[in-house]
Amino acid sequence: MKSKLLAGAATAFISCCAMAAECSITDAQSGNADPAEVFKACEKAAENYDYEARNTLGKLYAQGLGIGQDYKKAVYWWGEAIRGGNVEALYHYGNAYALGLGVRQDIYSAREFWSKAAERGYADAQFEMGKLYFSDSKIGRRDVSFSAKWLEKAAEQGHTEAEYYLGLLYEKGEGVSQNSEKAVKLFMDAAEKGIAGAEFHLGLAYFTGKGVRHDSAGALKLFRQAAEHGVAEAMYHLGIMYLAGAGVEKNTEEAAGWFRKAAEKGFAMAQYTLACLYEKGEGVSQDYAEAEKWYLRAAEQGLSVAEMGLGSMYFRGTGKERNYKEAVRWLEKAAEHGTDAAKDALCSVYTDTTWEGLSYTKAEKWCREGAELGFADSQNHLAWMYYNGKGVNYQQYNAIHWYEEAAKNGSVDAMMSLAGIYYEGRGVGQDYRAAAGWYEKAAEKGNADAMLRLADMYYEGQGTGQNYLAAAGWYEKAAELGIADAQNGLGWMYLNGEGFGQDYGKASQLFRKAADQGNPKAQHNLGNMYFDGLGVGQDYAEAEKLFRKAAEQEYPEAQVNLGNMYFFGKGVGQDYTEAGKWYSRAAHHGLGAAQAYLGLLYEKGYGVSQDYEEAARWYQRAADQGVPEAQCQLGAMYWNGDGVPRNVSKARSLLQKAADQGYKEANRLLDAMGGAY
């Protein structure tokens, strides 16, 4: 009898255990048991005060396993499980409040239940507590120290996500002392368990060599794994590796493909980088519309460099008409979001004289901010404003100060402005040496105009001491950059043998290069070579053609030479009227030789009605410039009283001036006058 009782008790014990085992959500989820049967088993156990069964019953209701989904009943059974001290139920009750399932959504109530479960060592609840304070949320400001405390506890229990989040804190040293090695270990553990974010951050550690030996191949592999798992930032970093050729062969097309994948997932930096590639045409066909589209998407997420890129496109009018209003809107956003370069760009926008919205008052604000941040363009603009009294009171000292700051920061425009100020003595004492110094700095940075000006100064000996070799060197550098005035200047030195042997061939070649660019000085000089047959065959027709090109550009020396050809009938039919036309144009430019020739035409009546008074007026203008022919002719007119009252004293004075310059006709007339009065 006793054995039968024992056997019955054993059977009852085994039966009870079997029933309890059947109340398993794992069996219901895996299909090892009929969910409806599992539900019945759990319901029966719950009614018998099995608090674990009550917790499981709550999960079945929440998931709709074996019964219709009902969050309110799920919450009810979790509450019943909590009465019996079930820690997992506390965690689930917190989840219900966090998501508003079966109860009103209330993150503070969620925190209360998670906190209780966490204190009792429940890893999932500890993780939720850590995640709650990991970033700013509805609960309040971020508290990484508090977050680290709970994540550490969860990670110690092997909680995979907690390991990943804790790794992020150790990676940056937030809430804990920075420890790259510990971050790497945590990422490794989480990555092995399939956490995609951990794969990416572990790849980043290999890529940067922080906490682990640098390994580009390892980084590439992990980035690919994370990218395949949908991590946009991993896609972006793959793009960076291919773009830079870091650990892989450089491939801009492959880079663009990864950037696009990340961009399409909404990753702002990838959108910005893809926009840059479209704007430059690198790895993709240049497409300004696509560039604008991706800049805009990134900018709408508040990425300041994208706001800067978009604003700059609108300002430059890249691919479309310039849009100052949109440029200002986006550049101001970028400036507000901390992109200092946007302040520099706004300085340029508000000082752009082609914009109707030009405002020196607004420019002063942005230019000053940019200048104080060390942006050379802003410093240069601010200096210009001080120098010209635009938006600020004229202040020479501040102008020079900001020009010098801009020049120190590499602004060639500022160097050129300083050189011009010292060369012309605008607001400062004229100082050719200082001017030459600034021209040289600008020239060394490749500014062709500075090379030309510096060459001119060496040629003339202004602030440098005359140095033909130095002049030729700078002329040559500028000439190689296609600067016509430099080609002409170097040609002039070869023509006259200044600094090196005379070489008509090189002179004519250089004059031709400059003349073909429309340079009137070179056209005139080459015309002279053809007229005289120097380095080229004498060719009056070619000379006339070149003189005419320069003359039509109002180059007075060429106008005189063209006039001379018509006056003397060289290469053209003699034509005093045509000669007079060109002499007159040159004379009105103030050229003494032309004024003297024009006086001769009026004195002799060549091509014009003879008019001694008009002749005397033109001779006087030329004589005042020291033209000996005019001094001699005017002196003769005063001796004879032609067109002017006879005045022997003035006649002698003018003839003597001409004679002192070696003009033989003046000596002859003085000898002929003898002592006559």
For residue range 203-250, what is the model confidence (pLDDT) as tens digits? 999 999 999 999 999 999 999 999 999 999 999 999 999 999 999 999
Task: Please state the domain extents for the chain.
Answer: 19-120, 594-677
d(CA 439, CA 68): 86
Q: What's residue 18's pLDDT?
A: 36
DSSP letters of 335-396?
HHTT-HHHHHHHHHHHT-TT-TT--HHHHHHHHHHHHHTT-HHHHHHHHHHHHHTSSS---H
Q: Tokens at residue 220, please?
A: 């590439």
The span from the first CA to the last CA of the chain, in angstroms, equals 178
Task: Flag residues of the chain having pLDDT under 70.
Answer: 1-21, 137, 675-677
Cα 102 from chain centre: 55
- Cα 331 to Cα 53, 100, 303, 375, 381, distances in angstroms: 62, 42, 12, 16, 18
For residue 642, what are the contacts with CB-CB under 8 A and spacing of at least 6? 603, 612, 615, 616, 636
For residue 103, what are the contacts with CB-CB under 8 A and spacing of at least 6? 75, 96, 97, 109
Length of the chain: 677
List, as own/partner pairs, every contact residues 270-278 make where C-beta atoms lie below 8 angstroms and the sequence separation is at least 24, other chains included. Answer: 270/232, 270/235, 270/236, 270/239, 271/295, 271/297, 271/298, 271/301, 271/303, 271/306, 272/298, 272/303, 272/305, 272/306, 272/309, 273/236, 273/239, 273/243, 275/306, 275/309, 276/309, 277/252
Domain 19-120 and domain 594-677 have a common topology: yes
d(CA 628, CA 614): 18
Q: Which amino acid is present at 66?
A: G
Q: What's residue 1's pLDDT?
A: 32
Residue among 334, 280, 263 at smallest CA distance from 303:
334
Q: What's residue 16's pLDDT?
A: 33
* Domain 594-677 in CATH 3.30.559.10: no
Phi, psi of 137, deg, nearest 5: -150, -175
CB burial class (10 A; 0-12, 13-18, 19+) of residue 620? Answer: middle
For residue range 514-550, what is the model confidence (pLDDT) as tens digits? 999 999 999 999 999 999 999 999 999 999 999 999 9
d(CA 137, CA 131): 10
Q: Tokens at residue 68, please?
A: 């219709």
Q: What's residue 22's pLDDT?
A: 78
Cβ–Cβ under 8 Å, residues 82 and 93: yes
- Model confidence, pTM: 0.74
Q: Which CATH architecture has domain 19-120?
A: Alpha Horseshoe (1.25)
Angle at 283 between CA 280 and CA 284, to 5 degrees: 75
For residue 174, what are the contacts with CB-CB under 8 A and spacing of at least 6? 144, 148, 168
